[in-house]
Structure 1
Amino acid sequence: MSHFTKIQTTIQDLNLLKHALTDLGLVWDTNSSHIQIGENNKHKVDILIKQDNLSHIGFIWNDNRYHLVADLQLWEQPLSLEVFLDRLSQKYAYHSIIEETKKQGFEKMEQISQHDGSIKLVVQRWSC
């Protein structure tokens, strides 16, 4: 029996989500991907992450943000769900900040990973 769960995230940008998933070392697909929910029900997802047990993970767009869809009983990732979501959120925020600072004319000068897992970014902008 399948126990799929939909978990709301704060993620709204597909490209930044792709970057964050890649940073986490995950292989994802966006080409007409479906996940199996139960025996006779398939659900289209915007991003598919395959698992060896064939109970794949997906992200779907709903209510102006992406939701993680997975059978939590068959979660087969190296990180627990909570740690996965925390790290995904951090990587997503990192790429959001980098993108926004570039739009404002800043350039990343330094990136320092802190002992507590946070990231210190130093950006600068030259003005004339």
Structure 2
Amino acid sequence: MSHFTYLKTSFKNLLHLENALTKLEIPYKREKKVIDANNSKLYNVNLVISQSNNYDITFNWNGEEYELVLDASFWIQPYPVESFINKVAQQYASDVIIAESQKIGFQPIKSQQHLDGSNTITLQRWSSTSSLV
């Protein structure tokens, strides 16, 4: 018997979520879901991670964020669900930090993964104005 679990996340941006999965080398596919709102065809894009047992893992857009939908009894990923979420969340956060920093002129110059699993990202920005005295 299947018991789907819906885990709330803070993943709100599709691009950053896709970048996180790609950087973690987690293959996924996009799935368009048609929503009929006032006879207008609208689409949600969900991300599906296929599993060999056909009990796929889905990041399902609920209108506010991407929920992680899975059946824990059929989870066959190489690490536990909590570790999976933590890895995706950490990579998602790194992607957001770099993208938002680049918008204001910073460039990433170094990224380091520590033994405890944490990351350090070093950014730099050069001032385009110089003050000569």
The TM-score bracket by the shorter chain reads 0.7 to 0.9
Alpha-carbon offset, residue 31 of structure 1? 3.8
Amino acid at match of 1:120: T
CA distance in 1, matches of 2:53, 2:74: 8
Please list the CA deviations of residues 44-63 of structure 1 after superposition, one character each: whole Å capped at 9, or x if unmatched: 86111100000001011115
CA distance in 2, matches of 1:100, 1:45: 23
CA distance in 2, matches of 1:97, 1:82: 22
Q: Secondary structure at the match of 1:54?
A: coil
1:1-128 alignment, distance < 5 Å: 1-32=1-32, 46-127=46-127, 128=129
Alpha-carbon offset, residue 114 of structure 1? 1.5
Cα RMSD (Å) of the superposition?
A: 1.5
Alpha-carbon offset, residue 32 of structure 1? 3.6
Alpha-carbon offset, residue 101 of structure 1? 0.6
Please list the CA deviations of residues 20-78 of structure 1 after superposition, one character each: whole Å capped at 9, or x if unmatched: 11122111101447xxxxxxxxxx86111100000001011115111001111000101
CA 13–45 in structure 1, closer or farther in 2 if over 3 Å, else same: closer
Alpha-carbon offset, residue 121 of structure 1? 1.1
Count of paired positions: 118
Q: Secondary structure at the match of 2:98?
A: helix
Question: Under a length normalisation based on structure 2, what TM-score does the superposition of the two structures give?
Answer: 0.83
Q: Secondary structure at the match of 1:120?
A: strand
Does the 8 Å CA contact 1:45/1:58 hold for their aligned counterparts? Answer: no
Q: Larger Cα Rg: Structure 1 or Structure 2?
A: 2
Amino acid at match of 1:79: Y
CA distance in 2, matches of 1:67, 1:45: 12
Question: Under a length normalisation based on structure 1, what TM-score does the superposition of the two structures give?
Answer: 0.86
CA 103–65 in structure 1, closer or farther in 2 if over 3 Å, else same: same
What fraction of aligned residue pairs are identical, expressed as a percent?
38
CA distance in 1, matches of 2:31, 2:4: 21
